[in-house]
Chain A
Amino acid sequence: MNLNEFFHMGGYAFYVWTSYGLALVVLLINVILPLRQRKQLLGRIARAAKRTRRNTT
């Protein structure tokens, strides 16, 4: 099987590659979201901690 045939998928290229592409996008988003959320959370908690320390001392 050559590369052209591989990407052609026996005429079903659109259906096959759309499915795989969509799966890749959805799975990547699900990894990126918690990574971003963790960063934001830690930043917010650090800022809040700094604020309370400033107010108490």
Chain B
Amino acid sequence: MFNNFFHKMASPKYFYNFSGRLIPWLAAGCLLLCLAGLYYGLYKAPPDYQQGDSYRIMFIHVPAAWMSMFIYVVMAATGAIGLIWRLKLAEVITISSAPIGASFTFLALVTGSIWGKPMWGTWWVWDARLTSELILLFLYLGVIALYNAIDDKRTAARAVAILALVGVVNIPIIHYSVEWWNTLHQGPTVTKLDKPSIHLSMLIPLLLMAFAFKLYYAFVVLMRARCEVLDRERHTGWVRELAEKK
């Protein structure tokens, strides 16, 4: 059954129709989780004893930063799959992920900066965490630029996959930067193995927002992938039929 599913997904037409049915559900789930997260994060959770209400930026900042790394890993993994098995759908997911990943990286950097101003007294410092996250943004932008610079989409996808794979070395650097170097950025509070040093009333909205962002990525990457499939398959019968029905 699993094999059958992957076999079917390799057909662009099947993927297009299947993802079209999936998107509304993912979007609805994302919206619900978002609303719950905002309610608990902005209203229910008490102010922090040190940072007052400014810490509420965390509910955007931390999930966005997680997504910036998660999407990059997805991009590199699908890039590898595309390189090895020449799976078109993997190529499509790789390139469709880049703008979304860039957006989350941008959000993580900017909300971090806005949080840093009142807490650290500065918008920006060149410490390891901030610098490696900035490099991540440049990697995403590099992937997008490289893809657009090469006319043949399949060659472009291969070039992009290699860039994505090389860049993946930056991900552990981002993650461990707060442990390897002395940074102004605080250490991890949630992903510590012993026990998270964050109160439940703050952990709940954080996780709600994190799942909301995951679903957001899922439905937006499918939306982008569908466009990419349409463009690549524009000379085929089913796409023409679809276009003329609209």
- Chain A CB within 8 A of B72 CB: no
CB of A8, distance to nearest CB on chain B (Å): 8
Q: Does the CB pair B60–A37 fall under 8 Å?
A: no
CA distance A45 to B231 in the complex (A): 9
In the bound complex, residues from chain B placing their C-beta under 8 Å from that of A19 are 57, 60-61, 110-111, 114-115
Report the Cα distance A47→B199, complex, angstroms: 58
Closest B residue, CB atoms, query A46:
B243
Residue of B nearest to A50 (CB): B244
Given known A-B contacts A41-B234, A45-B230, A11 and B52 have beta carbons under 8 A apart: yes
Evaluate contact between A26 and B106: CB separation under 8 angstroms: yes
Q: Is B103 an interface residue (CB 8 A)?
A: yes
Inter-chain CA distance A20–B53, complex, in Å, is 13
Across the interface, do B227 and A23 meet the contact criterion of CB distance under 8 Å?
no
Q: Are the C-beta atoms of A26 and B234 separated by less than 8 Å?
A: no
> A16 touching B246 by the CB < 8 A rule?
no
Q: How far is the CA of A44 from the CA of B235 in the complex (A)?
A: 12
Contact B57 A31 (CB under 8 A): no
Interface residues of B in 40-98 (CB under 8 A from A): 42-43, 47, 52-54, 56-57, 60-61, 64
Contacts of B61 in A (CB 8 A): 19
* Option from A6, A10, A15, A34 in Cβ contact (under 8 Å) with B223: A34
Query: What is the interface of chain A, defined by CB distance below 8 A to chain B?
Result: 1, 6, 9-12, 15-16, 18-20, 22-23, 26-27, 29-31, 33-35, 37-38, 41-46, 48-50
* Pairs A–B under 8 Å by Cβ, sample size 22: A1-B43, A6-B42, A9-B53, A10-B47, A10-B53, A10-B54, A11-B53, A15-B54, A16-B56, A19-B110, A26-B106, A31-B223, A33-B99, A34-B220, A34-B224, A41-B243, A42-B246, A43-B246, A45-B239, A45-B243, A46-B243, A46-B246
